[in-house]
Structure 1
Amino acid sequence: MKKYNMKTLRDNLLDIAYEEFYTNGYSATGLNKILEKANVAKGGLYHHFNSKKDLVIAIINERICPNSLKKYASLDEIEGNKLNALLDILESRNENFDKGCPLGNLILELSNIDDDILKALQNCINSWQKIFENVILEAIKNKEIKDISAYDTSLLIISTIQGGLLLSKLSKSDIEYKKCIKMLKDILIK
């Protein structure tokens, strides 16, 4: 059995579990599969996570949410039109259409299962919503778009992303996602 220092073992478990949950779903992924891929005994897992539920919450909080927010971090540095930059980021997605969105997949599978998991999922969506709302507010202030509800529009953006990715997962192509983002762009930028 490989020896890891505690940080490396925990990170390895998170990375492997993230990929397994993303590829196969939470319910279809057993802890034994994760342990086997990580080459770790159960004690190594339970040293870091009390349960599969704690593991998925850590994945949401430490992998999915930070990774998705990292895509939008560049918006803070942009001096010009942040709305166009946001739409460019959304248009630039070019992978994993067959797997959907890691966050969206977990929302579909787990949001009605457990309140702690629901809270972690909601916190991540709230982070997206706040970023998108701020972009819309700035676009309104700069007269790049008409005065609309920034909150409602941020929800439209999230819904468009998630809906497009869900449909693209079904078709196993990028066509639906790209069409949804193009339509969002057409609606927001006139």
Structure 2
Amino acid sequence: MNLEALVVSTGVVAVSEIGDKTQLLALVLAARFRRPWPIVAGILVATLANHAGAALLGSVIQDLMPAHWLRWALAASFFAVALWALKPDELDDDGELPRGSALGVFGVTTVAFFLAEMGDKTQIATVMLAAKFDSMLSVTIGTTLGMLLANVPAVFLGDKAVKFVPLHWVRRIAAALFALLGVLVLAGVGG
């Protein structure tokens, strides 16, 4: 287990997830179903599956790409995600979910979160972090923990939590963290 990869992955995803569309999705699910434990379980399963695949892709990229190209590609990716973090997310549709779905609360949450994470900045960050740290397990656990740190309070506190968080500052901090990671990659720090 790579402790640095675990801590960095947890922090990057936890901060960047605040105000993200999946956090908004967690709020919608919590308000709609009012059953927090199946929602949290669905978030966990969806994130583990999605981020394990992303970390695997990052590991493959690391093995295929020459080190000097990887450094530039990773730095450029971190800078791109830094800019992306500044853009507020919103749900793609009206946030309506079927009340009586055959999948149940857990199933609806799992499918919705897995799909919402496809191509999301946290999924892309997972790919980059796995390529940087060469520790698929640590990155997957870290990014999943970060996702839970950001979304579980949203599930249990609902819309009350968002009223106290200045989202524009959180987005700026997330952008600064991604930009710092890009600079550190270019400088050859941490790996």
TM-score class, shorter-chain normalisation, is: 0.3 to 0.5
TM-score, normalised with respect to structure 1: 0.34
Q: Which has the larger radius of gyration?
A: 1
TM-score, normalised with respect to structure 2: 0.33
User: Of Structure 1 and Structure 2, which has the larger fraction of its residues in helix?
Assistant: 2
Identify which of structures 1 and 2 has the higher relative contact order when contacts are C-alpha pairs closer than 8 Å and 6+ apart: 2
